[in-house]
C-alpha cells in the first residue's frame, strides 16, 4: 500500500528551455531543461513499469524512432517504447511530426537519412493545449518548438535518431531502419468521456492515460490496485497523507483512497497499466468522498 509524492528530476537537453516556471523554479541559471522526470522518492523501491515526464521545447527535437516490443527484444532490449503526449501548452502554429508523408522501403529510408532529406518527409500535425497524441513503437516522430507536454511511456530510453538539426550528436541509421515502420501515421483515438469528470485520452495494452477534473472542494474515490501516476495540471490535490500542487506528481499502488480537490478545483492526468480503463469511480458532492454502498458500486461497475 503506497502513496508517495514523486521526486522531480530536471534533465538537460539542447532543445530545452532556460525558464520552465511555474513547473519548476529552482533551475540553475543558464541550464536548458528539456525534461522533468518523476520518480519514486526511494531509489531502492521496485522500478515502475511506466515513466512520467514533462517536456519543454524551445527548439525542435531530433527526428527519431523507438522500437516496438518485438523489435526491441530482437535487439537484446527488455521491451520497446510506446508513449503518449498530452499537450499542456502550445505556441501558435506549434506542431509534432508523426510518421512520414509516404511509405519507404529500407534502402530508401537509409538513403533519406544519409542525404538528410528525411527532414522533408515528416508528416506534421498542428497541436494545441488539451490535445493528445499516441506514438506507438516503430513510428518515426519528432516534437516541434514552443510546446509543454506531459508524456507517459514504457520505461525505456531506447531512442534511434535519424536527423538532429546539426547538433553534432550521433545518428543510429541501421537501428532506426530496423525499428521504423514507415506505414505508421497518427492514429490517436478520440477521447472518451466516462462521466464523473473522467476522460480517457489513450487506452493501449501498455498504459491508459486519463484526464480528470474535480470541482472545488469535491472528491472522488481513486482505485489504484496497480501502479498509478497522477500529475497535477491545475489546482491542488490531496490523496491520503500527500498534498500536491501544479507540477507535482503522486505515485500510488495497492490503494483505494479519496482524491480531493482544493478550493480551486483539480485538473490532473492519471496513468496506469492497460489495456482497459478502470471502473468509474464514485464522486462525492462536496468534501471528502466516501465509498458508495456496495450495491451502487456494482451498478456503476456494470455500466463502466
Catalytic residues: 161
Instruction: Please tell me what DSSP assigns to residue 70.
Output: H
Q: Smallest Cα–Cα separation from 285: which of 222, 216, 224?
A: 216
Which residues are within 8 A (CB) of 45 and not within 5 positions of it... i.e. 6 or more apart?
none
Which residues are within 8 A (CB) of 193 and not within 5 positions of it... i.e. 6 or more apart?
199
Instruction: Assess contact for 146 and 57: CB atoms under 8 A.
Output: yes
Q: Smallest Cα–Cα separation from 221: which of 300, 137, 113, 109?
A: 300
Sign of the CA dihedral running 112, 81, 272, 237: negative
Cα angle 151, 155, 161; round to 5: 75
Return the H-helix or E-strand segment holding 133: strand 132-135
Cell 508523426, residue located: 98
Sign of the CA dihedral running 143, 20, 7, 248: negative
Q: How far apart are CA 63 and CA 75, in angstroms?
A: 20
C-alpha distances in Å from residue 101, one per residue of 5, 185, 186: 42, 8, 11
Amino acid at each position: 500500500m503506497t502513496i508517495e509524492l514523486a521526486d522531480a528530476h530536471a534533465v538537460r537537453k539542447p532543445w530545452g528551455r532556460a525558464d520552465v516556471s511555474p513547473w519548476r523554479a529552482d533551475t540553475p541559471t543558464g541550464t536548458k531543461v528539456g525534461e522533468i522526470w518523476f520518480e519514486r522518492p526511494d531509489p531502492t523501491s521496485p522500478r515502475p513499469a511506466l515513466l512520467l515526464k514533462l517536456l519543454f521545447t524551445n527548439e525542435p527535437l531530433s527526428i527519431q524512432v523507438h522500437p516496438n516490443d518485438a523489435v526491441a527484444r530482437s535487439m537484446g532490449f527488455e521491451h520497446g517504447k510506446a508513449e503518449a503526449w498530452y499537450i499542456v501548452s502550445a505556441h501558435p502554429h506549434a506542431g509534432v511530426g508523426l510518421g512520414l508523408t509516404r511509405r519507404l522501403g529500407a534502402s530508401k529510408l537509409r538513403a533519406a537519412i544519409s542525404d538528410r532529406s528525411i527532414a522533408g518527409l515528416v508528416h506534421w500535425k498542428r497541436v494545441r493545449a488539451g490535445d493528445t497524441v499516441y506514438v506507438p513503437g516503430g513510428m518515426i516522430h519528432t516534437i516541434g518548438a514552443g510546446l509543454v507536454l506531459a508524456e507517459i511511456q514504457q520505461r525505456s530510453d531506447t531512442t534511434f535518431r535519424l536527423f538532429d538539426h546539426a547538433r553534432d550528436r550521433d545518428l543510429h541509421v541501421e537501428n532506426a531502419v530496423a525499428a521504423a515502420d514507415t506505414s505508421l501515421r497518427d492514429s490517436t483515438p478520440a477521447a472518451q468521456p466516462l462521466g464523473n469528470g473522467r476522460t480517457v485520452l489513450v487506452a493501449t495494452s501498455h498504459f491508459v492515460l486519463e484526464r480528470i477534473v474535480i470541482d472545488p472542494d469535491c472528491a472522488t474515490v481513486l482505485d489504484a490496485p496497480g501502479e498509478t501516476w497522477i500529475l497535477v495540471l491545475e489546482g491542488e490535490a490531496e490523496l491520503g497523507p500527500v498534498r500536491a500542487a501544479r507540477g507535482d506528481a503522486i505515485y500510488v499502488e495497492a490503494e483505494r483512497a479519496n482524491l480531493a480537490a482544493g478550493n480551486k478545483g483539480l485538473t490532473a492526468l492519471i496513468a496506469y497499466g492497460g489495456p482497459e480503463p478502470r471502473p468509474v469511480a464514485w464522486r462525492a458532492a462536496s468534501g471528502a468522498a466516501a465509498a458508495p454502498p456496495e450495491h451502487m458500486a456494482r451498478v456503476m461497475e456494470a455500466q463502466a
